[in-house]
Chain A
Amino acid sequence: MTTIKAIFDYTFREHVRHKVWLSAALFGLVLLAGGLVASALAQDERARMMLDLGLAANELIALVSVIFLTVHLILQEIESRAVFLILSHPVKRWHYLVGRFFGTLAAVGLAMAAMGLVHWGMLKLFGWGTGGSYLLAWLCSFGKTAVMGSLALLLSLALTSEAAAMAFSTFFWILGHFSAEMRFVAEKSGNSLLRTGILAFSHVAPDFAHFNYRDAWHAGLPPASWMAAGALYALGYCAACLALATQVFEQKEF
């Protein structure tokens, strides 16, 4: 645990000092621009638009940050040979990987929290009560970010190319939001082989379509069973990706 914590700490500090905080500044601009557009164009739906754009901007910036950071996370250290120095100490490879991943996730999470606070503060400042649960929407976005981070880490180690890992991560992000569509196509398909294939693929891709409270906000709060299932789903998916990433990393020869 001590080694994981040490790696977590240095990863967290490294990110906070560099890239992650830039995303918060960018988010501030997007938020203000979104707010201006919403005020000018959306008539009676100003609050709704401000809420949707803010939550979407928060998640998209977190997504870009987490994919970019995790894809570079290990590959860059392999390239700069810094990883040799760390692994020459009594540090287990999975400790290194887990510490690096959670350090990155914590830094992105902190930026998301800062963005969320600014956004929530703006909504309150304008007196725009929106119902729903802001915390739940934020947690879902964070869950999606964690899933994408673990998947991007696995892809970066398996593909060993930053560009390919980023492209595939984005592809899985999009595919994840089409999981409901994929199941719809599978149901309509008359070919049982095709149906099975599509269903299997819809389970391999992260199921973001059903894990997206942000888009379902205006329909009211989901049941508690859904929240528990969402948390367990994110946990299971992250664990699977991290374990597979560890397996790939263990097999690398340095």
Chain B
Amino acid sequence: MRALGVAALGAGLALAVSPALIRGARKFPPLSTLPSTPFSLQDAAMAAAGLRAAAADLAWIELLQYSAGGLTELTDAPGREFEYVKPLTERVVRLDPSFHRAYLYGAGMLGWFRNLQRYDDAIDLLQQGLRDDPGEPLYAEYIAALAYQKRGDTAKALEILEPLADDPRSPVTMKEILANLYKSNGEYAKALAVWEAILDDEGQSSQWPRARQQIAEIRGLARKPK
């Protein structure tokens, strides 16, 4: 009987502190809000094992693979390039709403990558970031740059993006995006400087072949008479 008394006390203690535990814990979006992807089973299985952060990391890698055209599970329909960038980014941030770089990466891709120009989707992602991951100042800055870009004011957008691209919290892709914006804006010297900086950075060695190709191309463009 004494054992049962201790069991009741222990259970009572656990139940009594449970509301404080729930109140103080990080709130995660329910799994039912995850966008439907071929990876839904993987996400559910990992979340069930208590590996939500690790699941978000895997989702992040799959987003990078998709952006690089190397994800066989998802192929774009003709004329709808990179249509899964938004759902794949949302998948990462629903698994872990504190994945700052995923919001920025997804928004950068949608806003500026290869003339996708999906500004509204990009802004929507960043607004999700402002709501679910408060305290990250870069979201508001990216929204401002996207708003200028949407109005066609690339110079103003570049003014905001320049310091952001060097921020360690920004994804490395932002440097490439910045260089491409300079190039399309006719600012070849600045575009060259960004690509050369990428060439000097050991951490971005995967981008070196593209950097070399871009440097050669921009030098060719700069030599052409206007």
Show the binding face of A for B, using Cβ within 8 Å.
38, 41-45, 48-49, 52-53, 56, 59-60, 94, 144, 173-174, 176-178, 180-181, 184, 203, 207-212, 214-220, 222-223, 225-226, 228-230, 232-233, 235-244, 246-247, 250
Contact = CB atoms under 8 A, between A and B. Distances in A.
A219 B97 contact: yes
A59 B51 CA distance: 10
A237 B14 contact: yes
B43 interface: no
A49 B96 CA distance: 13
B47 A42 contact: no
A232 B10 contact: no
Most chain-A Cβ atoms within 10 A of its Cβ — which of B3, B23, B30, B61?
Answer: B3
A46 B52 CA distance: 17
Interface of B: 3-18, 20-28, 30-32, 47-54, 56-57, 60-61, 64, 96-101, 133, 171-172, 206
Contacts of A211: 21, 25
Nearest to A54: B54
Given A181-B31, A229-B24, A235-B13, A43 B49 contact: no
Contact of B11 (A56, A178, A240): A240
A154 to B, nearest CB: 10
A239 B10 contact: yes
A56 B57 CA distance: 12
7 contacts: A42-B57, A45-B101, A52-B53, A176-B50, A222-B25, A238-B10, A240-B14
A43 B56 CA distance: 14
B54 A53 contact: yes
A154 B3 CA distance: 13
A44 B61 contact: no
A239 B13 contact: yes
A226 B20 contact: yes
A218 B101 CA distance: 12
A225 B3 contact: no
Nearest to B65: A41
